[in-house]
Chain A
Amino acid sequence: MYGIEAINANNGWAISVVGISIVFSGLVSLSLVISQLHKVLALYENPSKIKALFQGKKEEKKLEEDTEEVIDIVLTQSQKETFKQFALLVRTMEDHFSLPRLLHLAKISGLKDPYSNLNTLLKIKIIAPDSDGFFTWNKNRFDKAVN
């Protein structure tokens, strides 16, 4: 028995399909590994990124804890209104925004005592620095402070 007949008799087609599937799956897996290899190499070349990854998680946890802290500065109604106006300005900016830019916008928008109020926002950590020279707005703390 030879040829097609022999293939049919010994499950040749099924074995071929399985073989092709195994090779194809292997190649797909290999290509996925290669496509992500640059990330592993980047970590290998700069191990501080691994540290930063874990620190980032710790910072997130700390941020959550911070929002639980009691805001112990008593705000006047006028300050609360000004903070709401600051919040509106921040909404027009990036998540990580420039503090001098926010101050500039506050000044040209005619917000009351922009320097002092910006300082208070920093003190009660509604505005907090990131690690790249920009700042973020903590909505939880803001809501807690003005409500």
Chain B
Amino acid sequence: MSNINEILKISTVFESLDEDSLARLAGLFDSWEIHPGDTLTNAGDTAHTFFLLEKGTLLLAMDEGKSIVMNQPGDFAGLELLSAKGIYKTTLSVLEKGRVMAIPRQEFLDIIQEDSGAAAVIMEAWQEYIDAAAPFAKNSEDAGLPIQF
């Protein structure tokens, strides 16, 4: 799999977006190669990037020892899984060599704020994704407000 459009189309979070929104979003992603032992985010640091997995395995370490293993192409490490109020709240490490698509957090949140149609689709899919992948990580307080992420 070589391009961001294909990954977006298989991602649970983004697959339902229309072509225009997908194209707009795709232009914001940057491809990063990842290696075992890499740390993509550190809890407590300023949050600047969200990640879409293309290939490999990521370990997302949360509070109280909980964690999520991401290993499916299209898994999205972002929003409440990764940050709160502009600060990373989880540490994202690489377990297996692969590739992620990185998107600047602010630009992603700008899309959510500016494009209400895309925002509704993304947030609905995101809630379903969280319910299925990590219900214990769900943030019920003010979920859906971009400023919270």
CB within 8 Å of B: which residues of A? 97-101, 103, 113, 115-116, 118-119, 122, 129, 131-135
Q: A115-B95, A122-B57 given as contacts; is B135 within 8 A of A129 (CB)?
A: no
Contact of A100 among B61, B134, B137 (CB under 8 A): B61
| Stretch from B13-21, B24-32, B64-72, B104-112 forming part of the interface with A | B64-72
Q: Within 8 Å of chain A (Cβ to Cβ): is B44?
A: no
How far is A113 from B35 in the complex, measured between Cα atoms in Å? Answer: 12
- What 0/1 readout, one digit per residue, does chain B (130-142) give for beta carbons within 8 Å of chain A? 0000111100000
In the complex, what residues of A have CB within 8 A of residue B137's CB?
Answer: 133
Q: How many residues of B contact A (CB 8 A)?
A: 22
Q: Are B62 and A99 in contact (CB under 8 A)?
A: no
Contact of A115 among B64, B65, B71, B94 (CB under 8 A): B94
How far is A99 from B59 in the complex, measured between Cα atoms in Å? Answer: 9
How far is A13 from B66 in the complex, measured between Cα atoms in Å? Answer: 66
Q: Are A132 and B136 in contact (CB under 8 A)?
A: yes
Q: Are B69 and A122 in contact (CB under 8 A)?
A: yes
How far is A131 from B134 in the complex, measured between Cα atoms in Å? Answer: 8
Contact of A99 among B69, B71, B96 (CB under 8 A): B69
Contact of B62 among A116, A133, A135 (CB under 8 A): A133
Q: Are B95 and A133 in contact (CB under 8 A)?
A: no
Q: Within 8 Å of chain A (Cβ to Cβ): is B117?
A: no
Q: Are B66 and A98 in contact (CB under 8 A)?
A: yes
